[in-house]
Amino acid sequence: MTHKGDVKEQAKDILEETLDREAVIVLGRISEEMQLMFMAHPEPARQEVERIITGFFLENGKSEQFIEDWIATSTEYSKMRGLSEKDQPKAMLSDLGVFRFMSFLKDKGLTDDQITIVLTGAVQQSVSDNGQGTV
């Protein structure tokens, strides 16, 4: 069985082996942008989040159908996680951040397994950084 700390190390190793300095900077920028978004919208309304998501995807050349499907899938996933309607908009913003990370890593050639390890390591690091121990 893999120890929780091992996943963070595996994630770090994957990133160091597969990404160049520029890619690491881009990942940092995505993280900063998402943090700023959460600070600017600590309790966002659903309509506000849909506007943010729509704007992001339109700027990146996605179709209206893609956007509608993405929002519907995120909403469905939030409900499956048992989130209240009040918490769903924040979850949708979080989903956007995860989507951005995953898409970037996929574009850089990481496999689905590598992406899963990287995202798991990032979550564990985030929880550790917040003083809550490891997941």
DSSP per-residue string spanning the chain: ---HHHHHHHHHHHHHHH--HHHHHHHHHHHHHHHHHHHH-SS--HHHHHHHHHHHHHHTT--HHHHHHHHHHHHHHHHHTT--TTTHHHHHHHHHHHHHHHHHHHHTT--HHHHHHHHHHHHHHHHHHTTS---
In a domain, 19, yes or no: yes
In a domain, 42, yes or no: yes
Structural domain for 70, as ranges: 4-129
How confident is the model over 66-80, as pLDDT tens digits?
A: 999 999 999 999 999
Average pLDDT over every residue of 116-133: 67
In a domain, 27, yes or no: yes
The per-residue pLDDT of the chain, averaged, comes to 86
In a domain, 28, yes or no: yes
**pTM score of the predicted model:** 0.79
Average pLDDT over every residue of 82-100: 93
In a domain, 87, yes or no: yes
Would you place residue 64 in the very low, low, confident or very high pLDDT band (cuts 50, 70, 90)?
very high
Number of domains in the chain: 1
In a domain, 135, yes or no: no
